């Protein structure tokens, strides 16, 4: 299941992307504000396809919370991914919806750096800085400290647990 957001009211809309062939244009209507908008399905699962001009997803964060919300998966792209609580007009490009006030709107930063020699990605996490801190494997990150993440690393911000995964389809 994929989740997208209405461009007008930011309502989350779920749909099963496996039911549609690549390249097809889908038209959605927001159940909240009735805004209609279009989405073109990617040409291939490999985002390196030059025809799609889509950025490469190098990894992801799976957000788990202690309430009964839908599991959120945040894709991670090359460069700086700012992680935080989603609010209208947020500066975070990797934000997720939560009601947890202990998660700042720009809580932490995850930088994806690609080695130009072998194409391998490295993932560095740092606190934004936030009011409540960022924890990796149970250890609090210090001021200006960057932590190199391993596949499967557990990150805690506020009451949320984030599980880090490397996209192994791109990095064998």
With contact defined as beta carbons under 8 Å apart, do 111 and 124 qualify?
Answer: yes
Q: What pLDDT digit, counting tens, does each position of 8-66 carry?
A: 888 888 888 888 777 777 888 888 888 887 877 765 444 344 444 567 889 999 998 76
Residue 144 burial (10 A CB sphere; 0-12, 13-18, 19+):
exposed
CA separation for the pair 35, 145 (Å, rounded): 43
168 or 139: which leads in pLDDT: 139
Torsion of CA 72, 151, 122, 105, to 10 degrees: 30
Q: What pLDDT digit, counting tens, does each position of 99-146 carry?
A: 889 999 999 999 999 988 888 899 999 999 999 999 999 999 998 899
Structure token digits, residue 91 = 């500066």
With contact defined as beta carbons under 8 Å apart, do 79 and 111 qualify?
Answer: yes
* Ranges of each domain in the chain: 2-40, 57-166
pTM for the model stands at 0.67
Structure token digits, residue 70 = 């839908």
Which fold does the domain 57-166 belong to in CATH?
A: Tumour Suppressor Smad4 (2.60.200)
């Amino acid at each position: 299941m994929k989740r997208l957001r209405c461009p007008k009211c930011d309502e989350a809309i779920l749909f099963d992307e496996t039911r549609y062939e690549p390249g097809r244009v889908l038209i959605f209507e927001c159940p909240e504000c009735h805004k209609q908008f279009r989405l073109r399905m990617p040409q291939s699962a490999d985002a390196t396809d030059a025809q799609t001009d889509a950025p490469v997803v190098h990894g992801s964060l799976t957000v788990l919370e202690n309430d009964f919300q839908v599991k959120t998966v945040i894709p991670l792209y090359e460069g700086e991914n700012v992680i935080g609580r989603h609010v209208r007009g947020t500066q975070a490009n990797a934000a997720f919806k939560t009601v947890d006030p202990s998660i700042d709107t720009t809580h932490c930063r995850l930088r994806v750096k690609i080695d130009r020699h072998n194409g391998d990605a490295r993932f560095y996490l740092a606190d934004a800085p936030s009011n409540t801190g960022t924890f990796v494997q149970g250890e609090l990150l210090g001021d200006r400290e960057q932590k190199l993440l391993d596949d499967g690393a557990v990150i805690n911000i506020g009451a949320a647990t984030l599980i880090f995964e490397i996209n192994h389809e791109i990095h064998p």
